[in-house]
Amino acid sequence: MTLIQYSWVNLMVFSLGWRSYQNVTNEYLYFAPDLVLSQDQMRRSPIYELCLAIQFIPQEFANLQVSREEFLCMKAIILLNTVPLEGLKSQAVFEDMRQNYIRELTKAIHLREKGLVASSQRFYHLTKLMDAMHDIVKKVNLFCLSTFIQADAMKVEFPEMMTEVIASQLPKVLAGMVRPLTFHSK
CB 50 within 8 A of CB 143: yes
- Give residues with Cβ within 8 angstroms of 94, minimum separation 6: 3, 80, 83, 88
CB 55 within 8 A of CB 15: no
pLDDT tops 80 at residue 152: no
In 3D space, the residue among 44, 104, 118, 96 whose CA is nearest the CA of residue 74 turns out to be 104
Determine the 3-state secondary structure of 34 from DSSP.
coil
Per residue, the 3-state secondary structure of 129-142, as one string, reads HHHHHHHHHHHHHH
Determine the 3-state secondary structure of 2 from DSSP.
helix
**pLDDT class of 24 with cuts at 50, 70, 90:** very high
Residue 83 CB neighbour total at 10 angstroms:
20
Q: Which domains does the chain have, with CATH numbers?
A: 2-178 (1.10.565.10)
For residue 123, the surrounding DSSP H or E stretch is: helix 116-149
Q: What is the pLDDT of residue 60?
A: 97
Q: What is the pLDDT of residue 146?
A: 84
- Give residues with Cβ within 8 angstroms of 180, minimum separation 6: 81, 82, 134
| DSSP character at residue 83 | E
Q: What is the pLDDT of residue 66?
A: 97
Q: Which residue has the higher pLDDT, 146 or 23?
A: 23
> What is each CA distance from 10 to 16, 133, 137, in whole angstroms?
10, 7, 6
pLDDT tops 90 at residue 1: no
| DSSP character at residue 180 | E
**pLDDT class of 40 with cuts at 50, 70, 90:** very high
> Widest CA span of the chain, in angstroms?
57
Residues 57-105: tens digit of each pLDDT:
999 999 999 999 999 999 999 999 998 888 888 889 999 999 999 999 9
Instruction: Report CA dihedral (61, 21, 31, 70) to the nearest 10 degrees.
Output: -50
Can you give the pTM of this predicted structure? 0.88
